């Protein structure tokens, strides 16, 4: 069936589910504002000592931070809930039912769960990005915004794939909570543009846990720092990551033994 | 002749399971060097299930029943052998096949926990792309037969086990599957609820002419639903045939009960099940039934006499007592 429709049906169901737990909204909003305040204070401190951080001005860094919050919100709202559910289903054997559905199993496990309240981060992230853009000295054109949207989409795809690949290891290892927590830790590194890190770490953050494509590249698009070749690289890279993820997913399914009755 | 909906040939499934002794030392050792054991969960079984047929799948825990059902519904890949369900190899998981079968696991729940079952029904409608008319017809009929009109609007978490099983099985059949794999659908339910579910399955089977492969530890399920049973033990098929014939083949003894004016305290008629001053129940080999009955009639002033097959539970127990190397 149409993936968009399927995703929408599930989104609707899990939203209905989540709406029963209103307190979660206040919790998510409080968390998001706290994280934002800490981030702003740190940026403020850094720029009270210097004009630019490895070539990045304060408004540019605000954009990076906004994208970081935005993508983080997407991960927490749509990616992580599904990955935790998948992990739990593999451990408890409840994936059985999902696999008997006449729809693509990878699609099904990727759209089942949503933490709808985490979308508060999306709003906050976009506001921070907007403030950064307004403070920029240069004019922002339609081309910049288009490149931003395109690279954000590619970034989301790449992040989703990486998370799914790691979770798929649960087919073999059963418990992978630690790895997912590690991903959350590494994600914090995306708060800063990858170009400020030493070369070895930059490589890791670009191609192993590709935060560069998910966060720095979209921010670069808005800050007029993006080369066309980087977009091409992002497209090619996400295509490769999607293909590899698909293969790993298939391998995982073939290894699924289910928990015994 | 039309090909049966389910055809299984020499199907085998081997699980690799880590083994270690108990204790901390062994746990630490297994971190570095893990030992595995190969478990033949299903060891080359062959059978068929005809269109509209209900087959009981019997076996003790760990016999390979659930593993077989999971292979036939596409969850597990077989090690070797062939399976054909409605013309498809199940573990290729073609959408065409998956939309025509269903798997119900009595011990697992399928519906969204926090939502009324009706929402999950709608989701199934979308996933299985059930035409609205069919969906509504089946839904309304199921709701009526199972008497779940009040239940489907409550969040699933608020339902009792029996109520939940009713909505589970309803959800599992909304797409009108042609082949049903039911794994202990009545487990944990009270007697009335078990009967309700059995009647529901029978009705569905009659209306939709669907094939059913059913496992249950409750013999009442099997006797009420299945005329044919497949007995599986240690991953191999011990018996495949009529339930009645099974009783004859494995129930080597019959029970003779007499009511008489006076039952002798000491006698050698056979193994005593129950004895009072006026009643005697004994177990005798099938071949001795006629001669023993004659002796009883001759020796006592018999008021009433009955000869019965042993209860099916007892028969099954005898079958399962078969040692592994004979299986």
Q: pLDDT tens across B232-269, in order?
A: 988 899 889 888 787 777 767 788 999 988 888 888 88
In this complex, do B123 and A10 lie within 8 Å of one another by their Cβ atoms? yes
Task: Give the mean model confidence (pLDDT) for residues A154-170.
Answer: 89
Give pLDDT, residue B81. Answer: 92
In this complex, do A261 and B107 lie within 8 Å of one another by their Cβ atoms? yes
Q: Does residue A260 surpass a pLDDT of 60?
A: no
Beta bridge mates, B179 = B101, B211
In this complex, do A17 and B110 lie within 8 Å of one another by their Cβ atoms? no
Give pLDDT, residue A67. Answer: 92
Task: Give the mean model confidence (pLDDT) for residues A173-184.
Answer: 74
- Rounded CA separation B6/B87 (Å): 8
> Angle A242-A247-A253 (CA atoms, 0-180°, nearest 5)?
125
Q: Which residues of B touch A257 (CB under 8 A)?
A: 15, 76
Determine phi and psi for A79, rounding to 5 degrees. -90, -55
Sign of torsion, CA B43 B47 B53 B59?
negative
Q: Is B105 on the interface with A (CB under 8 A)?
A: yes
CA distances to A97, A147, A200, A204, B220 from A160, in Å: 23, 20, 24, 17, 49
> CA of A202, closest CA in chain B: separation in Å?
33
pLDDT in tens, B137-160: 999 999 998 889 899 999 888 998
Residue with tokens 């019965």: B308
Q: Does residue A244 surpass a pLDDT of 90?
A: yes
Q: Does residue A259 surpass a pLDDT of 60?
A: no
In this complex, do B105 and A96 lie within 8 Å of one another by their Cβ atoms? yes
Q: Is B99 on the interface with A (CB under 8 A)?
A: yes
Whether residue A170 contacts residue A90, with contact meaning beta carbons closer than 8 Å, is answered with yes
Q: Which residues of A touch B107 (CB under 8 A)?
A: 261
Q: Which residues of B touch A6 (CB under 8 A)?
A: 126-127
- CA-atom Rg of chain B in angstroms: 24
Q: Which residues of B touch A96 (CB under 8 A)?
A: 70, 75, 103, 105, 108
Preferred mutation among B61, B108, B109, B125 to probe A, highest tally of A CBs within 10 A:
B108
Start-to-end CA span in chain A (Å): 30
- Rounded CA separation B212/B215 (Å): 10
In this complex, do B66 and A260 lie within 8 Å of one another by their Cβ atoms? yes
The CB density around residue B38, as the number of other CB atoms within 10 Å, is 10
Query: Which residue from B74, B96, B183 is facing A261, i.e. has the nearest CB?
Result: B183
Of the candidate ranges A40-54, A83-97, B36-50, the one whose mean pLDDT is the lowest: A40-54
Q: Does residue A187 surpass a pLDDT of 60?
A: yes
Residue ranges of chain B with pLDDT lower than 50?
326-327
DSSP code for B151? T
Q: Which residue has the higher pLDDT, A4 or B125?
A: B125
Of the candidate ranges A135-149, A198-212, B80-94, B148-162, the one whose mean pLDDT is the lowest: A198-212
- Rounded CA separation B40/B232 (Å): 13
Q: Where are the domains of chain B?
A: 6-247, 253-308
In this complex, do A17 and B112 lie within 8 Å of one another by their Cβ atoms? yes
Q: Which residues of A touch B108 (CB under 8 A)?
A: 93-94, 96-97
Give pLDDT, residue B8. Answer: 93
pLDDT bin (cut points 50, 70, 90) of residue A207 is: confident
**Exposed/middle/buried for A130, CB within 10 Å: 0-12, 13-18, 19+?**
middle
- Rounded CA separation B206/B200 (Å): 10
Q: Is B102 on the interface with A (CB under 8 A)?
A: yes
B183: closest CA among B211, B208, B217, B210?
B217
**Given the DSSP bridges, would you call strands B6-19 and B35-49 parallel, antiparallel or unpaired?**
antiparallel
**How many Cα atoms within 13 Å fall on the side-chain side of residue A54?**
8
Residue of B nearest to A254 (CA): B77
Size of interface A-B (CB pairs under 8 A): 72
Strands lying side by side in the sheet with B271-275: B271-275, B279-285, B253-260, B302-308
Q: How many helices (H) and strands (E) does chain A have?
A: 14, 0
B237: closest CA among B107, B65, B38, B36?
B65
Give pLDDT, residue B322. Answer: 63
Residue with tokens 């409608």: B125
Give pLDDT, residue B174. Answer: 94
**Exposed/middle/buried for B71, CB within 10 Å: 0-12, 13-18, 19+?**
buried
Beta bridge mates, B39 = B15
Q: Could you tell me which residues of chain A have a Cβ less than 8 Å from any Cβ in chain B?
A: 1, 5-6, 9-10, 13, 16-17, 20, 93-94, 96-97, 99-103, 105, 108, 254, 256-258, 260-261
**Given the DSSP bridges, would you call strands B279-285 and B271-275 parallel, antiparallel or unpaired?**
antiparallel
> CA of B292, closest CA in chain A: separation in Å?
46
Helix (H, G, I), strand (E, B) or coil at A208: helix
Which residues 33-92 on chain B approach chain A with CB closer than 8 angstroms? 66, 70, 73-77
Asked whether the ipTM of the predicted complex exceeds the cut of 0.85, the reply is: no
Whether residue B213 contacts residue B220, with contact meaning beta carbons closer than 8 Å, is answered with no
- Give Cα A83 distance to the centre of its chain: 12
DSSP code for B4? P
DSSP code for B100? T
Give pLDDT, residue A160. Answer: 93
> CA of A180, closest CA in chain B: separation in Å?
21
Give pLDDT, residue A261. Answer: 39
In this complex, do A6 and B126 lie within 8 Å of one another by their Cβ atoms? yes
Query: Which residue from B70, B126, B129 is facing A258, i.e. has the nearest CB?
Result: B70
Q: Taking the domain B6-247, which CATH number applies?
A: 3.40.50.300
Which residues 305-324 on chain B approach chain A with CB closer than 8 angstroms? none
- Rounded CA separation B113/B128 (Å): 20
In this complex, do B128 and A93 lie within 8 Å of one another by their Cβ atoms? no
Residue of B nearest to A251 (CA): B77
Whether residue A260 contacts residue A93, with contact meaning beta carbons closer than 8 Å, is answered with yes
> CA of B166, closest CA in chain A: separation in Å?
17
- Which residue blocks in A195-227 are alpha helix, DSSP H? 199-203, 211, 217-222
DSSP code for B88? B
In this complex, do B123 and A102 lie within 8 Å of one another by their Cβ atoms? no
- Rounded CA separation B112/A11 (Å): 13
pLDDT in tens, A14-42: 777 777 777 777 887 888 888 888 888 88
């Amino acid at each position: 069936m149409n993936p968009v429709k399927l995703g929408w049906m599930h989104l609707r169901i899990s939203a209905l589910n989540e709406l029963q737990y209103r307190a979660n909204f206040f919790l998510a909003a409080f968390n998001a504002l706290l994280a934002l305040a800490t981030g702003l204070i740190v940026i403020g401190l850094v720029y009270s000592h210097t004009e630019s951080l490895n070539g990045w001005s304060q408004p540019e860094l605000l954009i990076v931070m906004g994208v970081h919050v935005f993508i983080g919100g997407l991960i927490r709202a749509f990616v992580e809930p599904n990955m935790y559910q998948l992990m739990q289903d593999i451990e408890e054997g409840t994936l059985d039912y999902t696999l008997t559905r006449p729809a693509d199993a990878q699609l099904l496990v990727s759209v089942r769960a949503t933490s709808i309240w985490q979308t508060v981060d999306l709003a906050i992230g976009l506001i921070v990005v907007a403030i950064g853009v307004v403070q920029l000295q240069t004019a922002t054109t339609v081309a910049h915004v288009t490149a931003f949207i395109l690279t954000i989409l590619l970034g989301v795809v790449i992040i989703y794939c990486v998370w799914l690949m790691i979770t798929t290891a649960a087919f073999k290892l059963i418990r992978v909570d630690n790895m997912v927590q590690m991903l959350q830790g590494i994600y914090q590194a995306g708060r800063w543009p990858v170009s400020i890190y030493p070369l070895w770490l930059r490589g890791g953050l670009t191609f192993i846990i590709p935060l560069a494509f998910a966060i720095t590249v979209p921010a670069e698009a808005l800050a007029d720092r993006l080369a066309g070749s980087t977009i091409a690289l992002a497209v090619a890279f996400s295509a490769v990551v999607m293909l590899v993820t698909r293969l790993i997913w298939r391998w995982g399914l073939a290894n699924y033994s289910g928990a015994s009755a | 002749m039309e090909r049966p909906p389910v055809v299984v040939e020499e199907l085998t499934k081997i699980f690799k399971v880590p083994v270690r002794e108990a204790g901390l030392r062994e746990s630490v050792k297994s971190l570095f060097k893990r030992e595995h054991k190969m478990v033949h969960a299903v060891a080359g079984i062959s059978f068929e299930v005809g269109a509209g047929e209900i087959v009981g799948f019997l076996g003790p825990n760990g016999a390979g029943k659930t593993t077989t059902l999971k292979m036939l519904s596409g969850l597990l890949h077989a090690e070797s052998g062939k399976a054909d369900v409605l013309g498809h190899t199940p573990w290729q998981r073609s959408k065409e096949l998956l939309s025509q079968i269903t798997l119900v696991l009595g011990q697992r729940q399928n519906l969204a926990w926090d939502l009324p079952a009706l929402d999950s029904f709608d989701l199934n409608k979308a996933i299985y792309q059930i035409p609205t008319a069919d969906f509504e017809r089946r839904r309304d009929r199921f709701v009526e037969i199972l008497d779940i009109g009040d239940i489907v609007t409550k969040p699933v978490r608020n339902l009792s086990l029996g109520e939940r099983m009713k909505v589970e099985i309803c959800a599992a059949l909304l797409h009108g599957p042609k082949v049903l794999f039911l794994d202990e659908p009545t487990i944990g339910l009270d007697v009335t609820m078990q009967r309700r579910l059995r009647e529901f399955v029978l009705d569905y089977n009659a209306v939709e002419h669907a094939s059913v492969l059913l496992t249950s530890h409750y013999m009442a399920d099997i006797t009420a639903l299945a005329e044919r049973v497949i007995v599986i033990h240690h991953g191999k098929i011990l018996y495949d045939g009529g339930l009645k014939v099974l009783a004859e083949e494995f129930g080597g003894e019959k029970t003779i009960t007499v009511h008489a004016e006076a039952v002798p305290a000491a006698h050698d008629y056979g193994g005593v099940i129950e004895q009072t001053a006026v009643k005697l129940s004994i177990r005798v080999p099938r071949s001795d039934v006629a001669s023993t009955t004659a002796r009883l009639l001759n020796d006592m002033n018999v008021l009433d006499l009955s000869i019965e097959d042993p209860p099916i539970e007892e028969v099954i127990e005898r079958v399962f007592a078969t040692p592994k190397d004979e299986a």
